């Protein structure tokens, strides 16, 4: 009987170091999670500095109507076909450093063109009319 008694004590003594090891592992996991969070924050800052505007904004759309709209704090841009209002808003804000109030999107359809007997298509595109906050300005054409 005494022999069993000593074995139980040995098992209990073995459990204590295992608990300590488990605690150390948990602490290590927590430290890794904190480091990963810091790395993610750094990555997000870098993306914001680079900007993703080039993916969505192709060019300013310069027409007579666009120049009249510019007087009313509205600017026209050709944008990517797969861009949506949220992405355009972020891109304009990053690129020009202005606050966007409203965006209207127009899809210009492709048109059939013909030169003699040769037929083809003129490409369609998507454009966005962007209204910015009063008092702010975007310099599209340098004067």
> Does 85 lie in the same domain as 118?
yes
> Does 128 lie in the same domain as 59?
yes
> Does 65 lie in the same domain as 106?
yes
> Does 57 lie in the same domain as 44?
no
Does some domain include residue 138? no
| pLDDT at position 24 over 90 | no
Does some domain include residue 139? no
The answer to whether the beta carbons of residues 59 and 76 sit under 8 Å apart is no
pLDDT level of residue 49 (50, 70, 90 thresholds): very low
First to last CA, the chain: 101
Query: Which tokens is 22 given?
Result: 């488990």
User: How many structural domains does the chain have?
Assistant: 2
The answer to whether the beta carbons of residues 75 and 91 sit under 8 Å apart is no
> Does 67 lie in the same domain as 45?
no
Taking CA atoms, 70 is separated from 6, 49, 138, in Å, by 90, 27, 9
Of the listed ranges 44-48, 59-63, 92-96, 131-135, the one predicted with least confidence: 44-48
> Does 77 lie in the same domain as 17?
no
| pLDDT at position 46 over 50 | no
Give mean pLDDT, residues 89-106: 94
Prediction pTM value: 0.62
- Give the residue numbers spanning the domain of 43: 1-50
| pLDDT at position 121 over 90 | yes
> Does 127 lie in the same domain as 60?
yes
């Amino acid at each position: 009987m005494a022999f069993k008694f000593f074995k139980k004590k040995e098992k209990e003594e073995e459990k204590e170091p295992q608990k300590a090891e488990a605690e150390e592992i948990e602490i290590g996991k927590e430290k890794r999670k904190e480091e990963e969070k810091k790395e993610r924050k750094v990555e997000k800052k870098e993306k914001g500095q680079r900007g993703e505007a080039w993916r969505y904004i192709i060019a300013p759309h310069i027409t007579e109507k666009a120049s009249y709209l510019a007087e009313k704090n509205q600017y026209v841009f050709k944008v990517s076909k797969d861009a949506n209002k949220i992405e355009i808003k972020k891109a304009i804000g990053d690129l020009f450093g202005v606050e966007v109030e409203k965006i209207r999107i127009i899809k210009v359809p492709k048109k059939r063109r013909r030169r003699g007997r040769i037929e083809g298509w003129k490409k369609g595109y998507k454009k966005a009319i962007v209204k910015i906050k009063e008092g702010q300005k975007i310099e599209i054409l340098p004067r």
